[in-house]
Amino acid sequence: MAAEVTKRKTDIGPPHYEKFLPPVIKENYGKWKYHEIPRPGVMVHVAQSGAKLFSVRAATPRLMSIETLRLFAAIADEFCGGYLRFTSRNNVEFLLDDEKKIEALVTRLGKEGYPVGGTGPGITNIVHTQGWVHCHSAASDASGVVKSLMDELFPHFERPDLPAKVRVAFACCLNMCGAVHCSDIAVLAVHRKPPKINHDRLPKTCEIPSTVAACPTGAIRPATVDGKQSVQVIEEQCMFCGNCFTVCPSMTMADPENDGISIWVGGKVSNARHEPMFSKLAIPYLPNNPPRWPEVVDAVKKLVDVYAKGARPFERMGEWIERIGWPKFFKLTGIEFTKYHIDDFRHAGESFRRSTHLRQSRG
């Protein structure tokens, strides 16, 4: 035992990435010339030396069994010397230098249930959070909504047939693990009721000053309840962010009847053409309706369809909406504009229209 303790290694950091790079990458590192997409889901990167690297991109559900990782390892051994990587949107990519193996690899991945696609102006994997699978603050499941959405949007994964890429992201509460707030379509689960306070447990589980300080609107105040130190919430000041719950587990937010899903549009992170921008509210609330969330799937499908019809080549969702204006967006999508669409938090006035630049329409 003592020997084991002395051997204990710490702070070694991750393995060096060079160990995992295929020879074609090591030889052409930093010397790539251009790339093309010869077919959906397959990229070829051509080096200054003329060497070619083929990347075959396949879908994954992000949540994966080690049995699947072992399958990917076996496929990588069979087709590309064991070299593979994952993308920032949770796809897997097999890295080949032999073009002749692509066809068989694409077929194999499809047969195993991990279809190839996700390149170019279409819809690739939905970055998402843990949801009911593993999170304590989730207002919805994540994997189930994503699965239902991608089953419906799948044609755009297999075939890049949209004016530009449409980045879809899902977060199961306002903590937003991942960058959903700058996506073409952000699906965000929300709570809509103030925290329920467990006054018996609160004094034992929470620090009252930090709980009070956790509220961005000052809605939480110290209070004595049944002779015990606790807190009270000024409910009309609560905007259901859940920050108090993160700080104090005795203030729970989850509510099966009132939790649900909001949809935001027109964000992007790339600097291409338009500067990066936040997603803006399209639909304030749709119900949680497992296992397939049909209301959410229909709404997202409709947004994609209306965008596909109206946008010009290279126009991302947000650029298209800026060109046609928000009133037209709401008209085309049939989404009702409500008071909830008007910002009333910090810097709210920045989004009020302070001009007469209005696209008037007859009747």
Partner 1 sequence: MTDRKTPMLDELEKGPWPSFVKEIKKSAKSPMVRDLLGQLERSYEEKIGHWKHGGLVGVKGYGGGVIGRYNDLPAEFPEVSEFHTVRVNQPSGWFYTSEALRTLCDIWDQHGSGLTNMHGSTGDIVFLGTKTSELEPIFSKLTAAGYDLGGSGSDMRTPSCCVGPARCEWACYDTLNFTYDVTQTYQDELHRPAFPYKFKIKAAGCPNDCVASVARSDLSVIGTWRDEIQVDQAAVRAYAQGGKLNIHRDVAGRCPTRCIAWDGTTLQIDDENCVKCMHCINAMPKALSPGKDRGAALLVGAKAPIVEGALLASVLVPFIKMEPPYDDIKELLNAMWELWSEHGKNRERIGEFIQRIGLGNFLEQIGLEAVPEMVTQPRTNPYIYYDLN
According to the binding rule CB under 8 A, does residue 211 interact with partner 1?
Answer: no
- For partner 1, the closer of residues 232 and 289 by Cβ is 289
Is residue 15 classed as helix, strand or coil in its secondary structure?
Answer: coil
Strands 220-225 and 228-233: antiparallel
Per CB under 8 A, the list member of 204, 347, 357, 362 interacting with partner 1 is 347
Per CB under 8 A, the list member of 1, 6, 9, 344 interacting with partner 1 is 9
According to the binding rule CB under 8 A, does residue 17 interact with partner 1?
Answer: yes
Rounded CA-CA distance 102/100 in Å is 6
Nearby residues of 303 by Cβ (< 8 Å), 6 or more positions away: 185, 263, 265, 282, 317, 333
Is residue 135 within 8 A of residue 189, CB to CB? The reply is: no
Per CB under 8 A, the list member of 1, 3, 8, 363 interacting with partner 1 is 8
Per CB under 8 A, the list member of 50, 313, 334, 363 interacting with partner 1 is 313
Rounded CA-CA distance 140/290 in Å is 9
Window 64 to 83, contacts with partner 1 (CB under 8 A): 64-70, 72-74, 76-77, 82-83
Rounded CA-CA distance 131/138 in Å is 5
Compose the 219-238 pattern: x for residues touching partner 1 by CB under 8 A, - for all others.
Answer: --------------------
- For partner 1, the closer of residues 241 and 317 by Cβ is 241
Window 266 to 285, contacts with partner 1 (CB under 8 A): 267, 269-278
Select from 31-39, 222-230, 329-337, 349-357 the region that touches partner 1 (CB under 8 A): 31-39
Rounded CA-CA distance 43/55 in Å is 5
Window 315 to 344, contacts with partner 1 (CB under 8 A): none
Residue 227 CB, shortest distance to partner 1, in Å, is: 25
Contacts with partner 1: how many residues (CB under 8 A)? 119
C-alpha distances out from residue 55 to 39, 71, 96, 103, 116, Å: 11, 18, 6, 12, 11
Residue 185 CB, shortest distance to partner 1, in Å, is: 15
C-alpha distances out from residue 240 to 139, 179, 208, 246, Å: 11, 20, 19, 12
- For partner 1, the closer of residues 148 and 230 by Cβ is 148
Nearby residues of 24 by Cβ (< 8 Å), 6 or more positions away: 47, 51, 52, 53, 95, 97
Window 90 to 149, contacts with partner 1 (CB under 8 A): 90, 92, 113-115, 127, 129, 131-138, 141, 143-144, 147-148
